[in-house]
Amino acid sequence: MSSNTAAKHPVKYAVVLYPGFQALDTFGPLDILNGLANHSPISLDIIGPSLDPVSTNPLPRPGVQRNQAVSQSVVPTHTYDNPPKDIDVLLVPGGVGNRDPRVLEPVSKLIQDLYPGLQYLFTVCTGSRILAHTGIIDGRKATTNKISFSEVASHYPKVNWIEKARWVVDGNIWTTSGISAGIDGMLALLEHVYDKEIADRQAYILEYIRNEDPSNDPFCGHTE
Amino acid sequence: MSSNTAAKHPVKYAVVLYPGFQALDTFGPLDILNGLANHSPISLDIIGPSLDPVSTNPLPRPGVQRNQAVSQSVVPTHTYDNPPKDIDVLLVPGGVGNRDPRVLEPVSKLIQDLYPGLQYLFTVCTGSRILAHTGIIDGRKATTNKISFSEVASHYPKVNWIEKARWVVDGNIWTTSGISAGIDGMLALLEHVYDKEIADRQAYILEYIRNEDPSNDPFCGHTE
């Protein structure tokens, strides 16, 4: 690649969904992409375990009672077995569902398979648990949400977990803290890929006040 | 009702979706309900024009080009023609789709039919356009997002539009400003229905710093 060639902007985005994905982890970043799509030729694929709609309800577990009466189901375009080709940016939301081996194993395998071809890998909240499970971030910096921080970090001690972080960037891997941190992280990724003006524009459309400092993590050490 | 009877907490929530609904208008509030469901016996129904998944892409319009390659589709549980009975709280997101008469007319009719039975009606962003179209808020206070404020207000001059407002409450009608204001508004509604502790708990889970002042609207008069 000649030194005069501008870095290619990512065009092909994809998000991995699984039963028990966290809605706002997902739709914060995706609504930013919805806005970006109005003036950029980007695309988005949605990867599920099958082509059936994927629910925010986790897979039922014996002995675990939970209220199943509030959920949302999203239609995938691709499956783990047949993912899109040539993805530039892969988004991985968190959610209670990823504690389940029936999610953790196939999604971490998918990430392992896709990572080498990506421009960026972007996880929100406990999406970084799944990433840690792949081994890809052993020895690398990452964060996760604050509520689950100790639990996730204890399971994957080879990762250099940064607790006080709204998001962390290590090479082409972006991991954010919990839920709404995905919005700050995605806006920061847009700023990194394009410029501040484009990121600020999307924040304005969302009527969202950005946290532009990745080390500004008011929820670290916060007790309710 | 005796003075000792606590007001009944809303239990049955429903959200209206339509082609071109705004994802974050919808999933900000819904993810709060997802969290609330973990310790409250609430339910959520999703009302679409049919039982087909409802897309964030608006209905195609002749002569209007737009990038259709980034969208998300959500599965409804009910239809406008056969909505849930006994809804306590109806949520109406905004979105570019509601400018289209093929959305505006049926959704406003649905709201007109459902409103008398509701405990609360809650709109986000230009969801208040649809509400204004019903006539229900003639002479009442409301807000909408800031980008479309002048346009919406000019079409429905009988409404007492409050421009500088993150959200407005008039009786049992809650209308919020744009997109992420839905999160602040829904947290405020939770606080109103339950108490501050429960609302703050959900904000903490979302790692979201609340704007608790409805008159604090940093996007009013803001130019990009």
**Residue A219 lies inside a defined structural domain of this protein:** no
Residue B8: what pLDDT? 81
B201 falls in which pLDDT band (50, 70, 90)?
Answer: very high
Distance CA B35, CA B13 (A): 14
B5 falls in which pLDDT band (50, 70, 90)?
Answer: very low
**Residue B221 lies inside a defined structural domain of this protein:** no
A30 falls in which pLDDT band (50, 70, 90)?
Answer: very high
Instruction: Please determine, for residue B126, whether its predicted confidence score (pLDDT) is greater than 90.
Output: yes
Average of per-residue pLDDT across A30-45: 97
Residue A8: what pLDDT? 81
Flag whether residue B30 sits within 8 Å of chain A, measured between CB atoms.
yes
> What contacts A101, CB < 8 A, 6 or more positions away?
none
Average of per-residue pLDDT across B133-144: 98
> What contacts B54, CB < 8 A, 6 or more positions away?
B17, B18, B19, B21, B46, B48, B73, B74, B75, B76
Flag whether residue A96 sits within 8 Å of chain B, measured between CB atoms.
no
Burial A137-163 (b: 16+ CB within 10 A, else e): beebbbbbbbbbbeebbeebeebebbe
Closest residue by Cα to residue B108 from B87, B120, B92: B92
Look at strands B120-123 and B89-92 and give their pairing. Answer: parallel
**Residue B223 lies inside a defined structural domain of this protein:** no
**Residue B67 lies inside a defined structural domain of this protein:** no
Flag whether residue B219 sits within 8 Å of chain A, measured between CB atoms.
yes
Residue A6: what pLDDT? 47
Distance CA A158, CA A135 (A): 8
Instruction: Please report, as a single letter, which amino acid is at residue A50.
Output: S
Flag whether residue A179 sits within 8 Å of chain B, measured between CB atoms.
yes
Instruction: Please determine, for residue A41, whether its predicted confidence score (pLDDT) is greater than 80.
Output: yes
pLDDT, tens digit, for every residue of B57-85?
A: 999 999 988 999 999 999 999 999 999 99
Q: Tokens in use for A33?
A: 């992409």
Helix (H, G, I), strand (E, B) or coil at B167: strand
Contact A13, A33 (CB under 8 A): yes
Residue B165: what pLDDT? 97
Residue B7: what pLDDT? 58
Flag whether residue A73 sits within 8 Å of chain B, measured between CB atoms.
yes
Distance CA B70, CA B25 (A): 17
- Count other Cβ atoms within 10 Å, centred on residue A51: 12
**Residue B66 lies inside a defined structural domain of this protein:** no
> What contacts B154, CB < 8 A, 6 or more positions away?
none
For residue B209, the chain A residues in CB contact (below 8 A) are: 218
Please report which residue ranges of chain B form alpha helices under DSSP H.
23-36, 101-114, 127-134, 149-155, 181-193, 196-205
Contact B19, B98 (CB under 8 A): no
- Which one of A22, A27, A41 has the shortest CB-CB distance to B23? A27
Residue A4: what pLDDT? 40
Helix (H, G, I), strand (E, B) or coil at A7: coil
Flag whether residue A51 sits within 8 Å of chain B, measured between CB atoms.
no
Distance CA A79, CA B26 (A): 25
Instruction: Please report, as a single letter, which amino acid is at residue A121.
Output: L
Residue A222: what pLDDT? 67
Residue B6: what pLDDT? 47
Q: What's chain B's average pLDDT?
A: 95
Helix (H, G, I), strand (E, B) or coil at B6: coil
For residue B20, the chain A residues in CB contact (below 8 A) are: none
Overall domain count for chain B: 1
Q: What's chain A's average pLDDT?
A: 95
For residue A73, the chain B residues in CB contact (below 8 A) are: 74-75
Percentage of residues in chain A having pLDDT higher than 70: 96
CATH number at residue A119: 3.40.50.880
Residue A3 DSSP code:
T
Instruction: Please determine, for residue A3, whether its predicted confidence score (pLDDT) is greater than 90.
Output: no
Residue B69: what pLDDT? 97
**Residue B140 lies inside a defined structural domain of this protein:** yes
Residue A7: what pLDDT? 59
For residue A149, the chain B residues in CB contact (below 8 A) are: none
- Give B152 to chain A, closest Cα distance, Å: 16
Quick check: B67 and A37 CB within 8 A? yes
pLDDT, tens digit, for every residue of B145-158?
A: 999 999 999 999 99
Residue B221: what pLDDT? 81
Average of per-residue pLDDT across B179-198: 97
For residue A145, the chain B residues in CB contact (below 8 A) are: 207
Flag whether residue B38 sits within 8 Å of chain A, measured between CB atoms.
yes
pLDDT, tens digit, for every residue of A172-208?
A: 999 999 999 999 999 999 999 999 999 999 999 999 9
**Residue A217 lies inside a defined structural domain of this protein:** no
Distance CA A139, CA A164 (A): 18
Flag whether residue B59 sits within 8 Å of chain A, measured between CB atoms.
no
Environment class of residue A90 by beta-carbon count within 10 Å: exposed (0-12), middle (13-18) or buried (19+)?
buried
Distance CA B80, CA B92 (A): 13
Helix (H, G, I), strand (E, B) or coil at B153: helix
Contact A173, A139 (CB under 8 A): no
Instruction: Please determine, for residue A224, whether its predicted confidence score (pLDDT) is greater than 90.
Output: no
- Count other Cβ atoms within 10 Å, centred on residue B198: 17
B4 falls in which pLDDT band (50, 70, 90)?
Answer: very low
Average of per-residue pLDDT across A125-143: 98
- Give A200 to chain B, closest Cα distance, Å: 8
Q: Tokens in use for A80?
A: 């783990």
Closest residue by Cα to residue A115 from A126, A123, A124, A103: A123
**Residue A214 lies inside a defined structural domain of this protein:** no
Residue B151 belongs to what domain range?
3-56+72-205
Collect contacts of B167-171 with beta carbons under 8 A, ≥24 apart: B167/B143, B167/B214, B168/B141, B168/B142, B168/B143, B168/B214, B169/B141, B169/B214, B170/B137, B170/B140, B170/B141, B170/B142, B171/B140
In A59-125 the beta strands, taken as DSSP E runs, fall at: 73-74, 78-79, 89-92, 120-123
For residue A33, the chain B residues in CB contact (below 8 A) are: 70
Flag whether residue A209 sits within 8 Å of chain B, measured between CB atoms.
yes
ipTM over 0.90: yes
